[in-house]
Amino acid sequence: MHLKLGEVSAVVVSSSEIAKDVLKVHDPTFADRPESIAGEILWYNSTTISFSQYGDYWRQMRKICILELLSAKNVKSFGSIREDEVSKLVQSIRGGSSQGPINLTEKIFGMTSSITCRAAFGKICRDKNALIEMFKEGITLVSGFDVSDLYPSSKVLKIMSWNRLKLLRMRRKLDLILDDIIDEHNHNLARNGRDVDSTRRGNGEFGNEDLVDVLLRVQGSGELEFPITNDNVKAVIYDIFAAGTETSSTTIDWIMAELIRNPRVMAKVQAEIRETIKESKSIENDVQNIKYLKMVIKEGLRLHAPVPLIPRVSREDTEIEGYHIPARTKVLVNAWAMGRDPEYWPNPESFEPERFENNTTDFTGNNFEFIPFGAGRRMCPGMTFGLASVELPLAHLLYHFDWKLPDGMSPNDLDMGERPAITAARRQDLHLVAIPHDANKDQDENKHH
C-alpha cells in the first residue's frame, strides 16, 4: 500500500514475501531509518543504535552493543538483578493482594525499568523515578505526529514545531541527569584505578561493569574508528532504556491479558510451571526447561509484536516485485498483520500456543511471517536481554499467584485495543485480582497421590 504524507512517500508492506525482499534480499538498500524532529533533539541527532542512519558509525555502535553491552554473557551476569527485582514484584503483589484489584501494568513497568536501570547504571541512579518519567514522556512525544516531519524541506515548520519546545525542555532535563551519571561513573573508575587493592572493575552492583562503564571504557580505549562523544554515550543509554523497558513490560502485559481471556491456556501453563519448579530454589535456573511457557511467549509475540510497524527508509532507487521505489521512501513493514496472516496461521486471532509445538518457526529473523524483533542487519540487538526480562517475571507471576478479573467483569469486557505509539501497548492498564498460591499445598497433595 502506497501513502503520500506531505512530502514523504510511504509504503506499507503486509506480505511476508515482500518483507523478505525488503529486510533480507535488498537489506542494505532499506537499511536507513526515518528522520524526525524528535530523533534529532531527544536522541542526540539520531545517534542511538536503533535510529542512527546506516553507515560506519551505526556499524561500530551495533558491534559494541552485540559484543560488549548485550552479549549473552553480559545478559546472564544481570541474572541476580532480574531475580531480585522479580522477587520485589512478587512481594509487592503479595502485600497488596488482600486490598482488591492491583494495577499489574504499572507494577510490571516499574519492575522492567528497575532491571534496566540497575543493569545500565549500577548503583548510580539517584534520579531513577525522574528518568523513568522522562523516558515514558519521551516515548509518547516520539510516537506523536509532527507536521515538520512530513515537510522535511521546510525550515520554518521545523522552527515553529509545537513539539520542539517540549523536546528541547526535556532534552535539557535529560542532559542534567545523564551528565551527572557519567561524571560519577568516571570519578569512581578513576578512584578504583588508583586503588591497587580494589577488586572492583566498575560501578556495577557486584563490582563488575555496568553498561555505562562498558561505553566509557570503549570510549577511552583509543581503538575506535569513530571516537564516541558523551552525547553518543547518552544516546545509547536512552536507546537501551527505552527499548529494554517498554517492549518487555508491554509483552508481559499483553500475555497476562491473553491468559485471563483463555483460562485453558492459563491452567496449562501454570500446571507446567508449578510441576517443573516443585522444590527447586531458583526459577531462573529452571525457566529454560518450561517448554509450554516458551510457546505462550511466542504466541504473545505473534499476536502483539512489540513494534508493530518496523520503519525503514530506502537509500537509493530500487524495484520490489515490479514496483519502483524511489530513494528516501519510508517503508513500514507491518509485523502485526503478518503475525495474523491466515495463510501461515490457522485461526490467526485465537491465542493457541500449541501451534508452536511441532513448528520450527522462530523469531530470529528467518521466518518473515513472524518477526517481532525485526530481521536483517537492523534486527533488534537486545533480543536476549528482552526475552530474559519477559520469561522470568512471567514464570514468577504464574507460579506464585492465581489470577482473576475484578468482580463483575468477564473476559469479554477486557479492552484489547492498542495505544497508538512506536510500541503498541494495551490501551488500558490491566487491573487484576491476585490470589497467592500455596506451594506447600501442592506438595501435600503430591504426597497423598
CA torsion angle for 334, 338, 341, 347 (degrees, to 10)?
-110
Query: Residue 207 is placed in which grid cell?
Result: 563490582
Q: Which residues pair with 426 in a beta bridge?
A: 418
CA quadruple 180, 182, 183, 184: dihedral sign = positive
- Rounded to 5 degrees, φ, ψ at 321 are 50, 40
For residues 82 and 74, what is the distance between their CA atoms, to the nearest angstrom? 13
In which region does residue 308 sit, left (phi positive, over 0), alpha (psi from -120 to 50) or beta (all else)?
alpha
For residues 34 and 121, what is the distance between their CA atoms, to the nearest angstrom? 29
The residue assigned the cell 491473553 is 258
Identify the CA nearest to 261 among candidates 161, 380, 350.
350
- Asked whether the beta carbons of 28 and 318 are under 8 A apart, the reply is no
How distant, in Å, are the alpha carbons of 133, 258, 280, 284 from that of 277? Answer: 36, 23, 5, 10
Q: Are strands 318-320 and 323-325 parallel, antiparallel or unpaired?
A: antiparallel
The residue assigned the cell 560519577 is 184
CA angle 197, 202, 207 (to 5 degrees): 70
Query: Residue 431 is placed in which grid cell?
Result: 487491573
Identify the CA nearest to 226 among candidates 114, 351, 58, 408.
58
CA quadruple 119, 121, 126, 127: dihedral sign = negative
For residues 443 and 351, what is the distance between their CA atoms, to the nearest angstrom? 31
- Residue 117 is assigned to a ligand binding site: no
Q: Burial letters for 320-330: b for 16+ Cβ neighbours within 10 Å, e otherwise?
A: beeeebeebbb
Q: Which residues pair with 3 in a beta bridge?
A: 10
Query: Is 371 in a helix, a strand, or coil?
Result: coil
List residues forming the annotated binding site.
380
Binding site, annotated residues for heme? 380
